[in-house]
Amino acid sequence: MKYIAGIPENDKKRVVIIGGGFAGLQLAKSLKNSNFQIVLIDKNNYHQFQPLFYQVATAGLEPSAISFPLRKAFQNQKHIHFRIAALEKVEAESNLILTDIGAIEYDYLVLAIGADTNYFENKNIQQKAIPMKSLSEAINLRNVILSNFEKALNETDKTKVASLLNFVIVGGGPTGTELAGALAEMKKNILPKDYPELDFSKMKVYLLEAAGKVLNGYSEVSSKKGKKYLEKLGVKVLTDTFVKDYDGKKVLLATGETLDTDTLIWAAGVKGNPANGLSTESVGRGGRLMVDAHNLVQNHANVYAIGDIALMKTEKFENGHPQVAQVAIQQASLLAKNLKRKEKGQALKAFKYLDKGSLATIGRNLAVADLPFMSFQGFAAWLLWLFVHLMSILGVKNRLFVFINWTWSYFTYDQSLRLLINPKVDSKQTKLFEDSSVIKNN
């Protein structure tokens, strides 16, 4: 058997998991005491808690508080091996994957590679808008936000100042609404103290949504409350609004209207990360991999997909399940059981999603909660949101740090993490980056 250096060969069947997000991490944890050898591969050496990226971007939390080392999660697990690597190709006929650190054979391959920002083939927006689908992108957005205020201090042209102070967020889902609310609260409670020379009455936060309502997919009452909360905070919510283009200074709407801004934040959609080598017939809507009721990828034996990348069509979910953490966790838990059943020759169980509800927070004491048995909004929903997200973070230390930050911010109306940390790049590093980009693009 071929293997990546340091991973021993043994008589155990090998399960290779690509991706250390909610799905991949849950699957590895569920198989840790099984009779499998587990190889977990990710481009980063940490798990990222995506629901709180927006708080990193708005200086509410430090990046380390919502990250957890993958190696730490599997200490003392001698049959679980982790490697930092990027998937390059799947050679399913040979039960082999190619990565940037070598090739590895598998008995079962599980793709938990998640999704990335979908720009809908608009090259200008892809080049000039700011995404927020990773921790590094959230840190970059924080730097951009803080840099805008620093630049505005030294700018005398009122038009340029307005463009620096305006923020346009595209996408009225949970990510967009939570980010818009956080920026609006920064404008109200924090920024005037940091930048007393600036007139923050000129700062505008726009939230643009192509559908007829924000929080589309939530109950009607939660959607309406969410919009009401945003407007209460001063966010300009524009629904039924399509973004046509962006040149770095002006957002062009489908109506022909324009919005001046140096900062367009794109949270309008996602598409599945590619898994090169799999048949094109296996790829469905949004770049997701089409799977059966057991998460087996269509047209491939021993290749499974779980989480955001998986497209499982059911009577209730004709376009696949929602791309949320609970779906990923539940699919991973069932797949672990099914792999054990398969080894024992037992019948496999079909996946059925148990919807535990949806939560979104707009601001201080303002949130919406759609549970299977009821919907409610306001302070109670906000407390539930806090509890659920706090308990979902990996690591007791991380939970403590997040709790302390939240408590401090709540009582002081302040945050202490507004740090501009830009990497220093010398000419040699720039040359190396350019060379690697050329190699990658070719």
**Backbone φ and ψ of 402, nearest 5°:** -65, -45
Pick the catalytic residue from 105, 121, 137, 178.
178
C-beta neighbour count of 294 within 10 angstroms: 18
What is the pairing mode between strands 250-253 and 243-246? antiparallel
| Nearest-angstrom CA–CA distance, 274 and 276 | 6
Q: Which residues have CB under 8 Å from 61's CB, separation 6+?
A: 52, 55, 402, 405, 417
DSSP 268-300: S-EEEPP-TTS-GGGB-GGGPEEB-TT-BBTT-
| Amino acid identity for residue 138 in this structure | A
| Nearest-angstrom CA–CA distance, 141 and 147 | 10
Inter-residue long-range contacts of 291-297, CB under 8 Å, 24+ positions, other chains counted: 293/350, 293/351, 294/335, 294/338, 294/348, 294/349, 294/350, 294/351, 295/331, 295/334, 295/335, 295/338, 295/351, 297/111
- Greatest C-alpha distance within the chain: 74
What is the pairing mode between strands 167-170 and 250-253? unpaired
CA angle 59, 60, 62 (to 5 degrees): 75
> Active site includes 150?
no
Question: From start to end of 302-390, where are the E strands?
Answer: 303-305, 310-311, 358-363, 366-371, 374-377
Report the residue count for the chain: 442
Which residues are part of the catalytic machinery? 178
